[in-house]
Structure 1
Amino acid sequence: MIARLTGPTSFAPRIALFYVAVFSVVGIYLPFFPLWLETRALTPTQIGIVLAVPMAVRALITPFMVTMGDRARDRRGITVRYAASAFVLLGLLFLASGFWQILAVVVVVAVFWDALIPLGDAIALSGVRKFGMDYGQIRLWGSVAFVAANIVAGALVSALTGSVVLPVLFLAYGCVVVSSLLLPASKINTEATDADTPATPAGAKSGLSAYAFRHPVLLLSLAIGALSQASHAMIYGFGSLYWQQAGFSGLEIGVLWAAGVLAEVVLFAVSKPVLRRFGPSGLLAAGSVAVVLRWVLFPVHWSFAGYFVLQILHGATFGAAHLGVMHTISRAVPDAQTGRAQATYFFISGILMAFVTAISGQIFVRYGVGGFAFMALFGVLGLVLWALMRSLSRRAELSP
């Protein structure tokens, strides 16, 4: 047996509830935390640093924190401890003043918070293997929660000010603690048999499971996904600030964020037939193509309706890339090493995201909305790596 979990009927709703809580936090943090930082009189450069440094922490510390979940043989218990620690530490932001104090608190929160999503994914992928569940059908509830949080927080910011973001965020963190207590147990059996070993991804048939962390096909898949995620650095840091400067209300900003995630929800809802048709490799390619289109078009001064339509590409720039990586890991990596695989992905994407976010403040100050076009380069590079990955896959298929 790969893992001893509660039964399939209770597994899905409990992990879905965790996704709802976690992505409610993300749905508040990504669009509106920069607005709260602005109410604390931070400059665009300082905002970029406050957002970037925790990403560097994620790249350096999260792999260790997530791998501890594999070693503990009970991912639920360690997830509860991390969630409670992040909740308590976030409360220090109510007392923090000035750039350095805010930065210090955000960093220590990130040490525990950033491990929660990969740990949740590791538990979910255990259910995918053991019960044959559809990861997309479970994960989409996190996206639904993200949309709801966008709209609710946006309405609150419109009715009040950006200062309301922190209290709402603190309440959402508390919900994460509760949902982590309700997660299914995940006691890992590290003595996997041949029957436990997942199938290799399409196009990578030569021993990928046995040598996953040394196989270039897996590593290139993680890199392509990380490039797609890093392309969002500008919009995560300065999308809301730009839209606010362009005259959009807080509610309109929330709806724009929600539009992108609704497209993601649709993709997750139909992920099984899409995966069957295109495979993880096709999803990664679609994500890279969408990255180029989305960020080349973003600097055009669109109306609200234009940006609403453009935001739908988020379903591919994030959703397709994420599904491509998750299913590559699910097919390629044994359960006992899933946390390590998630940690490796977080390391690669965290380094890239931290670097781009750190410089995005200066890019935004210098180029304004035109700076978003630089993000298209990540899609171009992703397509180059995808072509290399496909070439390596074909060689593997031809090898004896």
Structure 2
Amino acid sequence: MLPYPWLALNLSAIYLVLGIFSPFWGVWLESVGLKSEQIGLLLGIGFAMRLCGSLTIMRQVRRAELLIPAARILVWGGLLSFVGFYFSSQFWVVFLFTLLVNFIYPTLLPLTDAIASRMVLQVNLDYGNVRLWGSAAFIVGTTLIGIVIEHLGQSWILHCIVLGLLVAGFCIHMPMKPAPRTIGQESESHGYGMLLRNRAFLNFLAIEALIFGSHSAYNSFSAIYWHSQGFSASTISALWTTGVVFEIIMFAASRRLLAGWSPERLFFWATIGAVIRWITIGTSLNLWFLFPAQALHSFTYTLAHLGAMQFLSQRLPREAIISGQTLYSAIGQSLSLALFTVLSGMMYRHMQQHVFLVMAVIALPVFYLIWHGKRMTISRPAQ
């Protein structure tokens, strides 16, 4: 199978599960009797384990040829980990399998991004055009699970995740031709340590950490909050779906619409969108305001992610891209979401919707970091 259809198929399978897991896992945890502080703790620890998983697992993928075999192991490992939640709904059992699930399954996201990035180099793949298939599958997952919950109950959140990973397990074993391969005389000289000592790369990580970290209250508590205010599961699904629809539109138009945009410009508009979006969600339950705010997901997520992919592919030496991708996922996304999700869980009980206003404040320092990082460059190691 050629790279484009292979990636479209596998991104669809992986993000179908994510469309169930991301918006409704907190709802499933609440359905088995956990309190908001426990939910916030579990979700926050989950993001921390994503950090550990990305750093540990991606560290072993030293060559491009190992990317697809590693993805196959992670799909089946993720499936077995989710099955563990059937054993008991006691907190410590849920805690244990939360650690395992988040160590394994989310690493598929940076891993498939790394495969896509490699194929951009090998066959000039249009990243935005293939990534939109994952976003489309996310919509399908979010929409279907909303319908399933209303008719069959919240226990089906876990059942659908397990079924989705079974599908992903079959898709991931399709062969890709040409497969990812090491190009030229790539070395491993750009490890984690060298990138983490570079001020420009650290500034980039801080930008992404604040933008993605500001999504923590939305990711973990928007469905719970809207449900508490009388929104039906289908309405919540529609709100999440709206965000991803506009994400798809932005991915599809990115090569044409955003041609010539620098990473800094993409980060700037992502931050503008974040401030407006979180203020709106934190101050209104009017669907006429919430749906347009959700459309800003095309800014808060898509522009931030496209800026990251552009930064990694254009500013880093080729041999540093996999390490950079790993650190972006582990620190710029997982660690920041872990910290801010725990914080959100502690604040949500007392602040309710006002926790989203805190997320708007969290995004504000990005404007300074963009200005501060404009003159910084990634240096190559001495030969």
Q: Same fold (TM over 0.5)?
A: yes
| Mapped contact 2:276–2:293 kept (Cα < 8 A) | no
Q: For 2:81, give the aligned amino acid.
A: L
Q: For 1:114, give the aligned amino acid.
A: P
Mapped to 1, the partners of 2:56 and 2:97 lie a distance apart of 20
| Mapped contact 2:23–2:223 kept (Cα < 8 A) | yes
Matches within 5 A, 1:94-133: 94-133=86-125
Mapped to 1, the partners of 2:115 and 2:30 lie a distance apart of 37
2:359 counterpart residue number: 375
Mapped to 2, the partners of 1:36 and 1:230 lie a distance apart of 22
Matches within 5 A, 1:245-284: 245-284=228-267
Q: Tell me, what secondary structure is at the counterpart of 2:62?
A: helix
Q: For 2:362, give the aligned amino acid.
A: F
| Mapped contact 1:153–1:165 kept (Cα < 8 A) | yes
Mapped to 2, the partners of 1:293 and 1:139 lie a distance apart of 25
Alignment counterpart, residue 289 of structure 1, candidates 258, 272, 277: 272
Shift of 1:218: 3.2
Query: In the alignment, does 2:171 pair up with 1:187?
Result: no
1:357 counterpart residue number: 341
| Mapped contact 2:51–2:335 kept (Cα < 8 A) | yes
Matches within 5 A, 1:120-199: 120-182=112-174, 184=176, 185-189=179-183, 191-192=185-186
2:320 counterpart residue number: 337
Mapped to 2, the partners of 1:192 and 1:102 lie a distance apart of 42
Q: Tell me, what secondary structure is at the counterpart of 1:278?
A: coil
| Mapped contact 1:89–1:108 kept (Cα < 8 A) | yes
Mapped to 2, the partners of 1:188 and 1:115 lie a distance apart of 21
Query: In the alignment, does 2:53 pair up with 1:26?
Result: no
Mapped to 2, the partners of 1:263 and 1:305 lie a distance apart of 16
Q: Tell me, what secondary structure is at the counterpart of 1:284?
A: helix
1:199 counterpart residue number: none
Alignment counterpart, residue 207 of structure 2, candidates 217, 224, 247: 224
State the TM-score, normalizing by the size of structure 1.
0.88
Q: For 1:274, give the aligned amino acid.
A: L
Q: For 2:36, give the aligned amino acid.
A: P
Shift of 1:158: 1.5
Mapped to 2, the partners of 1:175 and 1:383 lie a distance apart of 42
Identical residues among aligned pairs (%): 28
Specify whether residues 246 and 190 from structure 1 end up closer, same or farther in structure 2 by C-alpha distance, changes over 3 A only: farther
The number of residue pairs the alignment matches comes to 369
Mapped to 2, the partners of 1:183 and 1:325 lie a distance apart of 28
1:197 counterpart residue number: none
Q: What RMSD over aligned residues (CA atoms) do the two structures have, in Å?
A: 1.9
Q: For 1:272, give the aligned amino acid.
A: R
1:40 counterpart residue number: 32
Shift of 1:335: 4.3
Alignment counterpart, residue 4 of structure 2, candidates 9, 12, 25: 12
Mapped to 1, the partners of 2:285 and 2:81 lie a distance apart of 40
State the TM-score, normalizing by the size of structure 2.
0.91
Shift of 1:118: 0.7
2:372 counterpart residue number: 388
| Mapped contact 1:290–1:379 kept (Cα < 8 A) | no
Q: Which blocks of at least 5 consecutive residues in structure 2 are unaligned?
A: 188-193
Mapped to 1, the partners of 2:226 and 2:157 lie a distance apart of 17
| Mapped contact 1:256–1:308 kept (Cα < 8 A) | yes
Q: For 1:141, give the aligned amino acid.
A: W
2:285 counterpart residue number: 302
Shift of 1:56: 0.8
Specify whether residues 388 and 87 from structure 1 end up closer, same or farther in structure 2 by C-alpha distance, changes over 3 A only: same
Query: In the alignment, does 2:350 pair up with 1:366?
Result: yes
Shift of 1:183: 5.5
Alignment counterpart, residue 347 of structure 1, candidates 323, 330, 340: 330
Q: Tell me, what secondary structure is at the counterpart of 2:185?
A: coil
Q: Tell me, what secondary structure is at the counterpart of 1:162?
A: coil
Specify whether residues 325 and 264 from structure 1 end up closer, same or farther in structure 2 by C-alpha distance, changes over 3 A only: same
Mapped to 2, the partners of 1:124 and 1:250 lie a distance apart of 33
| Mapped contact 1:19–1:141 kept (Cα < 8 A) | yes
Q: Tell me, what secondary structure is at the counterpart of 1:191?
A: coil
Q: Tell me, what secondary structure is at the counterpart of 1:299?
A: helix
2:190 counterpart residue number: none
2:310 counterpart residue number: 327
Shift of 1:46: 0.6
| Mapped contact 1:74–1:188 kept (Cα < 8 A) | no
| Mapped contact 2:12–2:134 kept (Cα < 8 A) | yes
